[in-house]
Amino acid sequence: MVTKRVGLVAPPGVLTVSPGDVIRVTSEFDYTGPAVSGKIYSALYHPTFLDPHDEIARNSKDFSITDSPPPGKHFTGYVDLTVPEGFSGTDFGLYTKLIGIPGADIFSPYYDNIIEIVGAVPEFSNLVISSYVKR
């Protein structure tokens, strides 16, 4: 299997993708405490009338960290998101959270308007009457 990398962007840069593309979201955090395991969860979202962070793609990956007494450890991980069909525009964002850990989920900031989806909506053109007959 060959992974072809098309672009690498850091916030607040904008990454342009198309439906079916895979966005690799790399996140990092610092941790201090006893050994722990959980999931790193990332999502692609856009604002809607009801939800400012309506997720259109999401994925997660397991992580585990050994005992991390102060000053703690630095962890980096990535999650791949497949851009779904049927969306286009420039108002897509990303965020990451840690789930399945003791206590409440931990959230990254919401990074608004950093993903542009192009070519998602089928385009109709050249609609004409090509002939007509008497029946």
Partner 1 sequence: MPEHLDIVKIEITTPLPEEGYPDTTYKIEGSVKMFDAVGAPPFVYAQVQKKEWYKPEVVEEVTYERGFPIPVTGKFTIEWRPEKLGTYEVTVVATPAPLPLPVIGVPPITGESDMMKFSAVEKPAGEYSNLKITSYENVTV
Binding residues for partner 1, rule: CB under 8 A, are 1-11, 15-17, 21-34, 36, 42, 65, 67-68, 72, 76, 80, 94-98, 101-103, 106-109, 111, 114-115
Identify the residue whose tokens are 């965020």.
Answer: 95
Contact 119, 88 (CB under 8 A): yes
Structure tokens belonging to residue 111: 């990074």
Give whichever of 10 and 128 is closer to partner 1, judged by the CB atom.
10
Q: How far apart are CA 43 and CA 56, in angstroms?
A: 8
Q: Which residue number, 69 or 124, has a Cβ lying nearer to partner 1? A: 69
Which residues make Cβ contacts (< 8 Å) with residue 64, sequence separation at least 6? Answer: 35, 36, 37, 38
Q: Which is nearer to partner 1, 104 or 129 (CB)?
A: 104
Minimum CB separation from partner 1 for residue 87, in Å?
Answer: 15
Cα–Cα distance, 99 to 49 (Å, whole number): 26
Q: What is the DSSP letter of 86?
A: T
State in angstroms the smallest separation of the CB of 9 from partner 1.
6
User: How near is the Cβ of 64 to partner 1 at its closest, in Å?
Assistant: 12
CA torsion, ordered 124, 114, 2, 42, to nearest 10 deg:
-110
**Nearest distance from residue 127's CB to partner 1, in Å?**
33
> Which residue number, 47 or 77, has a Cβ lying nearer to partner 1?
77
